[in-house]
Amino acid sequence: MKKNMKFIALLLIVSVVLSACTLKTKDESGESTTPSNNANVDQTPVDIELLGMSANEDDLNIVRDQLAKNGFNVKLNIQPDYGSFKTQEDAGNFDISLSSWTTVTGNPDYAVRSLFKTGGDYSILSDPEIDALIDEASTQTPEQYQDTYKRFEEALVFEKAYIAPLFNSIKSQAFNKEVLAADSVRISKSRSLPWEELEFTDTAKHGTDPLILQSTFPTLTSLDPIKGNDGSINIINTNLYVRLVNLTDDDKITSDGSLSLNHAIAEGNTEYYFILRDDINFAKVTDKKAVDSGERVGADDVIFSLNRAKDRNSVPDHRTYTLHEHINTVETVTDLAALDALKVSGSDETVRAALEKGLDVKISELVADKKDANNKEGKYQVVKLTTTTPFPQVLNYLAHQSAGIVSQKQVQAINTYDVENFDVNKDIPYGDQNTVTEGSQYNNTLYTSGPYILSHKNDYEATFYKNPAYMKGTEHEPRIENIKIKFIQDADSTLSALRSGEIHLFYGVSESKFDVVKGDSKLELQSIPSNAVSYLLFNTSNRPVAESADLRKAVLYSINQEEFITFYSGNKYKATSTLSPIVNTGLELKADAAKAKEHLNAYKASK
């Protein structure tokens, strides 16, 4: 009996010792942790809701399986289109959201500011450390900002786990080379496809046959360039509105094909000068056809457009103001001597000489009124933009669709509502997609400065016409009269439509379909490493992942990027953040099941 009592006492001692192992400890960062080999921690899988779109179902399934292996019970919330996806995301109906971002301006500040800075257009974060690092890097040269962006990635991904990177993608498109001339189809690392350069193999069809493209988004966020920055309108607004500068295919800034004939940066990197061309008028729609409005695109429109772009309160639901917050002033220059007195940054060349470079007629006079401009007589308009701090990256933002030039006269005539008291049920803003949608609300009031204008749309397709007053007689005049976009949400259906001739170009072919395209003799595939990164975004407001860095890190270290690369036959690349295609910080996320388990146990123990 005594032996039995001693045995029972020994069991009690062992039990007490084991139970002590479940006590929470603190790691060096102050976060709660629990040893991963603790057998007494609850082994019940942790519920987590993963939000995404049906177009990304393969990626969602890979993430689900990876999380399931590491102690999660994943609920998939798959939405059919971007509109319903955003509705769910905005409502906070997710723990993690499968997100993506393409740095369409080619500069690193764009890869982070809108997404992660407090108050950013698409940010759900509010972290002073993250904000400070974004602002610090924005004022630095490429040689300086690499270390700053490394510290940013360390904080964003590894210390706080606000995102979990999945992969960096290839940008690709396929087209019917029997229909389209191959040398007219451009693929750029960042810039959207320029429609004005596209040509049929049979040029006689330019005025008769429509070019047929495809999009997955039948609902357009807004045709006002500052009110949207997503896949539904980026390529559309890029072709509806001209900008002060463009990007080359390899992300260099150029005036080629833009509103400016040349541009120059003055000493100090806070003053930027643009000499404007005089051969673009705004297009408008009459009886569903494109006509010349008779109104020239000029300096007053540039000043109006950029001032509203930088002003958060210029329109309700402004989506792009953080891209332009470095703009201080925009004005017309009328003193020619001022251009002679200024030197180009890092050069002995004058700003005037830089602006005159390659012009058929040199500057004889600077005019304030766009109606007085006449480039053939040497009468030009010059716009001066001043930044709040030295900020050469401002040029990349001026190449973005949100810096598209709108008609001051037309936008002010339409936007007569009070911004503070805007009523979505009553007020109709400029660019509202309902005004171009066939039906009782159709009332197309667009004035577009770019090569095309949207005439009308329905749930199945959108019809665009060439701007009849866009750089006529130049190499940038649009070739094809009519472009249609078919709304096809399913990628497999889109590829079938391309192969059958229903559409002529598929913008954004999945890497898993490259072999199919290559095997079709009438198709040509174009691809280039892109600035697109896919990642998991954590809910930061109303779910457990918002409060627990351990829970977020358990997800982070469950992600195995190699499995995505294998699934896509090597046509994906590793990523650490949305910066990865632009800045090499040397940081890398590696899947670590032990770390995932450790952090998940720490989360459970803290509940």
pLDDT tens digits, one per residue of 87-131: 999 999 999 999 999 998 999 999 999 899 998 888 889 999 999
Predicted confidence band of residue 82 (pLDDT cuts 50, 70, 90): confident
| pLDDT value at 407 more than 70 | yes
586-590 contact pairs (CB < 8 A, 24+) = 586/150, 587/150, 587/153, 587/154, 587/157, 587/158, 589/157, 589/158, 589/164, 589/165, 589/556, 589/559, 589/561
3-class state of residue 119 by DSSP? coil
Query: Residue 107 carries which side chain, given as an amino acid letter?
Result: N
Q: What is the pLDDT of residue 607?
A: 81
pLDDT at 28 over 60: no
Domain boundaries, the chain: 26-169+530-606, 180-503
* The CATH fold of domain 26-169+530-606: D-Maltodextrin-Binding Protein; domain 2 (3.40.190)
Residue that has been written with the tokens 């973005």 in this structure: 400
- Mean pLDDT of the 507-536 span: 93
What CA–CA distance (Å, rounded) separates 399 from 585? 26
8 Cβ neighbours under 8 A, 6+ residues apart: none
- Among all chains, which residue has been given the structure tokens 């003193």? 335
Q: Is the pLDDT of residue 463 over 80?
A: yes
How, if at all, do strands 482-487 and 211-215 pair?
parallel
Q: What is the largest CA-CA distance in the chain?
A: 116
Gap between the Cα atoms of 500 and 504, Å rounded: 9
Q: Which of 114, 117, 96, 95 is nearest to 105 (CA)?
A: 114
CA separation, residue 260 to residues 263, 264, 277, 450, 490 (Å)? 7, 10, 6, 13, 39
pLDDT value for 36: 44
Q: Are domains 26-169+530-606 and 180-503 of this chain identical in fold?
A: yes
What CATH number should be reported for the domain whose range is 180-503?
3.40.190.10
Angle at 229 between CA 419 and CA 482, to 5 degrees: 105
Tell me: pLDDT of 598 over 60. Answer: yes
Q: In this predicted structure, what is the pLDDT of residue 11?
A: 39
Task: Tell me what pLDDT residue 40 has.
Answer: 63
Statement: residue 30 has pLDDT above 50: no
Strands 246-247 and 253-254: antiparallel
**What are 149-154's contacts with CB under 8 Å, separation 24+?**
149/108, 149/112, 149/579, 149/583, 149/585, 150/585, 150/586, 150/587, 152/112, 152/577, 152/579, 153/576, 153/577, 153/579, 153/585, 153/587, 154/587
Tokens of 294: 């008779």
Whole-number Å distance between alpha carbons of 393 and 325 = 12
Instruction: Kindly tell me if the per-residue pLDDT of 25 is higher than 80.
Output: no
Burial of 443 (0-12, 13-18, 19+ CB in 10 A): exposed
Residue 319 CB neighbours (<10 A):
21
Task: Round to whole Å and give the CA distance between 223 and 200.
Answer: 27
Residues pairing with 16 in the sheet: none
Alpha helices in 264-314 (DSSP H): 299-310
Which of the four pLDDT bands, split at 50, 70 and 90, describes residue 400? very high
Distance (Å, whole) CA 248 – CA 255: 9
